[in-house]
Amino acid sequence: MPKPDVTYDTAVRSFNHENFAKLAAYPALRDALNDLCNQSSEVTLAELLEAVRDMTLTAPFADCCGVCRRHPEYLKPGGDPTYLKMAWPHAVERKGRWLKCTYRCPRCSHIWTCGYSVDAPGLI
């Protein structure tokens, strides 16, 4: 079934994010979304909205890279905590209540999967 056309004219609505705008993450997220839009010129607005929706709904399903977690620079006393950088799934396969999440480490590019029950995310 073809997806309906989504345009800024049909999708933009009135909103007030005052509760979020005062948080430091809000402008950081807007910067990231701006970058994502600018770097996704071949992606339709509908695809972008779906991706942002998916990212929002899977925010509690973050994981840490097992390769970086075992890195000597992290394991040494006073180790570099940036080796525990969080990753969020870039792909999810849902079967019933089970999510098979696929991650790509932003530090070392290692790819792995982790499973979660949809109603029991790893982090909230």
Minimum Å gap between C-beta 106 and Zn ion is 8
Cβ(103)–Cβ(90) under 8 Å? yes
Choose the binding region for Zn ion from 16-24, 37-45, 98-106, 111-119 (rule: CB under 5 A): 98-106
67: contact with Zn ion by CB under 5 A:
yes
46-83 as b/e: b if 16+ CB within 10 A: eeeeeeeeeeeebeebbbbbeebeebeeeeeeeeeeeb
107: contact with Zn ion by CB under 5 A:
yes
Among 58, 61, 68, 88, binds Zn ion (CB under 5 A): 68
Minimum Å gap between C-beta 67 and Zn ion is 4
- Looking only at the bridges linking them, the beta strands covering 91-95 and 86-87 are unpaired
111: contact with Zn ion by CB under 5 A:
no
CA distance 104 to 44: 23
104: contact with Zn ion by CB under 5 A:
no
Return residues touching Zn ion (CB under 5 A): 65, 67-68, 105, 107-108, 110
